[in-house]
Amino acid sequence: MSDMLETLTKLEALLEERKNADPEKSYVARLYHKGAKKIAQKVGEEAVEAAMAVAGGDDKELVAESADLLFHLMVLLRAKGLSLGDVAAELARREGLSGLDEKANRSK
């Protein structure tokens, strides 16, 4: 678990650092340059690819596409000035709350 947290923490720091990189030399900088809407589109594409891996029964592909999805979601969060810490705080807030109740509360 600590390895996962360490990996995500390092990646988040790198993504923040790349905000100032040259878009001609950095894929992440290029994504930031295109803006949040374009990054969100990429997140959607990666989510579909992960779902297709499940439909195809390919666990190795699911892991690879999930990594792509998480990576692009983290880029999107940073582009919006948010972090995995913000997401973790929301998950902590929901802890112990029924998923059905939480969803019902969102629609009010």
Print pLDDT tens along the chain (108 aa).
679 999 999 999 999 999 999 999 999 999 999 999 999 999 999 999 999 999 999 999 999 999 999 999 999 999 999 999 999 999 999 988 776 766 777 765
- All domains in the chain, ordered by first residue: 2-106 (1.10.287.1080)
State CA 31 to chain mean position distance: 13
Q: What does the radius of gyration of the chain's CA atoms come to, in whole angstroms?
A: 16
Within 13 A of 31's CA, how many CA atoms are on the CB side?
A: 23
Q: For the purposes of burial, counting CB atoms within 10 Å of the CB of 68, is it exposed (0-12), middle (13-18) or buried (19 or more)? A: middle
3-state secondary structure of 26: coil
Q: What is the pLDDT of residue 105?
A: 75
**The pLDDT of residue 10:** 96
Give pTM, 2 decimals: 0.87
Predicted pLDDT at 96:
87
Q: How far are the Cα atoms of 64, 74, 87 from residue 32, in angstroms, in the given order?
A: 22, 12, 20
